[in-house]
Structure formats: structure tokens, C-alpha cells
Amino acid sequence: MEAIQARAMTWWTILRICLEERLVYRGDFALGTLMRFLPIVTQIFLWSSIFTAVSGNIAGYTFNDFIAYYLLSMVARAFSSMPGLSSGIARDIRDGTVKKFLIQPIDMVGFLFLMRVAHKLVYYGVALAPFALVFYLCRGFFPPVPDAVTICAFVLSLLMAFMLGFFLEAAIGLYGFWFLEINSLMWIYMLFNFFFSGHMFPLDMLPPPMSYIVQLQPLQYLAYFPAAVWLGKIQGPDLVRGLWLELFWVIVFFLLCRFAYARGVRRYSGFGG
């Protein structure tokens, strides 16, 4: 029991220190968040021109749906994106910084996870005002607030999107135990991420069978799925199935991450100071 309490206190101390460190950059978080919403102005003009040229909706999406989708996908990506995580892990392996985790009773993956939790807590705490301002100005594009079940599913999908994004990118970074550089791998991942996460457009716009294949892959949960849940595009059995599938991918990449770290540490060799 005392060992469990000591371990919990250690992780709490790490989280508290990470929170204090991230709060140093609170101004950058607020300004950066506001600036990230500026491209939505371009999207409004773009899709306004497209819907002016066509009649009715596009693949079941109205003009308002498209704008609301892009705003919600930005929220989802703010949860799931892990800038610098993979490259940071690979750099620590390459320059030997990873040795500190091998000689101290601190798990590297757990430590990095708490760092990202602290980052997201501070980010959303500081960026709440810019988010609220942008969503208030764009409130006319959104449908009525969904029911409680949909809201709970939306929040759950965001939390799992955070975990999926972390373990997926951490697993890529841990391949630095086998490869000197992972930049090419990251470039390929970011290319597929931009398209298959739904950041570019809603994935259900794709014609079958492509749409069915794309929606089985894990990247959709990083942006498309949470946004589609809030907009009511995914309901009933499809919603339950989607949440279970998202949890499945979280577990898969968690196990892959732990496996890569355990095997990587076994083959790692560090020399000098």
C-alpha cells in the first residue's frame, strides 16, 4: 500500500511540475489558438462559392454543416495532435538523453504521457477564451445543441482521440531505437493523417466502397469522428460501434507502444557521459 501511495505521489509531482512549466507559455497558447482559427475564414469563402454554384447539399452536408464541421474538427485535432512528440522521442534516443529513464525509476512513456496531459490542460485552460469567441461568432453555423447522450459520446471520443494520438505518435518515435532518422516515416504519417483523419473534408463524402474502408482505419478518430458525432452524422448502433472501435485502436497502439519500448530498451546501447 505504501509503495502504491509513493508511486502515485511521484506521478502527481511530475504532473504538477509539467503544469507549472507549461503555464510559462500561456500567452503563446492563447495567441496561437486564435491565429489557428483564421484559416476558417478562407473555408467560409471557399464553401460559400461552391454552394452558390450548386443547388441543395453536398453528400448530405449543407453549407452550415461544412463550417461547423471544420470548427469541430479543429477542436478534435487540438486534442489528438502531438506536435514534436515523435521527433522528440527519436532525438532523445539518438543523442542518449533516453539514458536518464533507464537509470531512474520513472517510465519514459508514462512520463511523456503526463507531460502531454499537462500540455492539454494548460492549453485548453488558457485557450478557452479564444475558442469561446470564435464559436460565439460562428454560432449561426451550428445546429441546435444535441442531446446528453450525444454530448457524452462526443466528450468520450475526444478523450480517446487524445490517447490514440499520443500512443500512435509515441510508437512512431520509439522506432528511433531501430532507425537513425524517422523524418521520412513522420512525413508519410503526416501526409496520410491530413487526408484520412478527415481534416481535409468529411470522410463520409467519399463514395463506397472507399468510404467504408477509410472509416475502418484509426486516423478517422483524430478529427472526423468527434465532429461527425456532434453534428449527428453518426447515431445509434453506428455510434456505439464507432466508440468501441476507437477504444480498440487505443488499446492496439498502447500495446504497440509498450512493445516497442520494451524491445527497444533491450537493444539500446549508451556509451560515455
Position 25 scores a pLDDT of 66
- For the chain, list the strands marked E by DSSP: none
CA distances from 172 to 84, 126, 163, 182 (A): 12, 29, 14, 8
pTM: 0.85
Give per-residue pLDDT as tens, 58-111.
777 888 888 888 889 888 988 898 888 888 888 888 888 888 877 777 788 888
Share of the chain above pLDDT 70, in %: 86
Q: How far apart are CA 87 and CA 248, in angstroms?
A: 25
Give per-residue pLDDT as tens, 248-272.
999 999 999 999 888 888 877 765 5
Position 253 scores a pLDDT of 95
Residue 193 has pLDDT above 70, yes or no: yes
> 61 phi and psi, to 5 degrees?
-110, 130
Position 220 scores a pLDDT of 92
Instruction: Give the residue carrying C-alpha cell 484509426.
Output: 218
Position 218 scores a pLDDT of 92
pLDDT tier at 24, thresholds 50, 70, 90: low
Residue 22 has pLDDT above 70, yes or no: no
pLDDT tier at 190, thresholds 50, 70, 90: confident
Cβ-proximal residues to 23 (8 Å cutoff; 6+ apart), any chain: 122
Residue 142 has pLDDT above 70, yes or no: yes
* Nearest alpha carbon to residue 98 among 267, 266, 265, 272: 265
Q: How far apart are CA 255 and CA 145, in angstroms?
A: 37
Q: How far apart are CA 11 and CA 106, in angstroms?
A: 9
Position 1 scores a pLDDT of 65
Position 163 scores a pLDDT of 94
Look at residue 171 and give its three-state secondary structure: helix
Q: How far apart are CA 198 and CA 220, in angstroms?
A: 6
**CB 165, CB 80: distance < 8 Å:** yes
